[in-house]
Amino acid sequence: MQIFNIGFPELVFIFLLALIVLGPQDLVKTGRQLGKLIRKTVNSDLWKSVLDTSREIRDLPQKLAREAGADELLEDLNKLKNAHLGDMDYVEKEMSAKFEDDQPVIDPGISKPPDDPAV
């Protein structure tokens, strides 16, 4: 079990360190205060707005893809890929036929051979 990416041995070590530093009486008092602070934070309007904003940011790529119509293109591509798993040439032909007006993408990593025959 991991809480905040901290495993069980680390939690035990932190608890023992807090017990040594605070002592048994202050540890209970500090635990109560920490619990009240966490409860107050989680129930606050600021925390709820932070959660809503993070949810919106997480869902933003899917929302933009739906608005742009990219989800339909992805569905078409997945259908082609699933229908012709081993035949990627067929998938490329189908996709290029769908976008025959588009210009081909040129890979900048591939350089053109020199025209000079002496080289």
pLDDT tens for each residue of 34-87: 899 999 999 999 999 999 999 999 988 888 877 777 777 777 777 777 776 656
DSSP 8-48: HHHHHHHHHHHHHHHHHHHHHHHHHHHHHHHHHHHTSHHHH
Question: For the chain, what percent of residues have pLDDT higher than 70?
Answer: 69
The pLDDT assigned to 15 comes to 87
pLDDT at residue 95 above 80?
no
Question: What are φ and ψ of residue 5, in 5° steps?
Answer: 60, 30
The pLDDT assigned to 117 comes to 59
CA distance 77 to 90: 11
The pLDDT assigned to 23 comes to 86
Q: What is the mean pLDDT of the chain?
A: 77
What average pLDDT does this structure show over 95-110?
57
Query: In the structure encoding, which two tokens stand for residue 118, read together?
Result: 């002496």
CA distance 33 to 39: 10
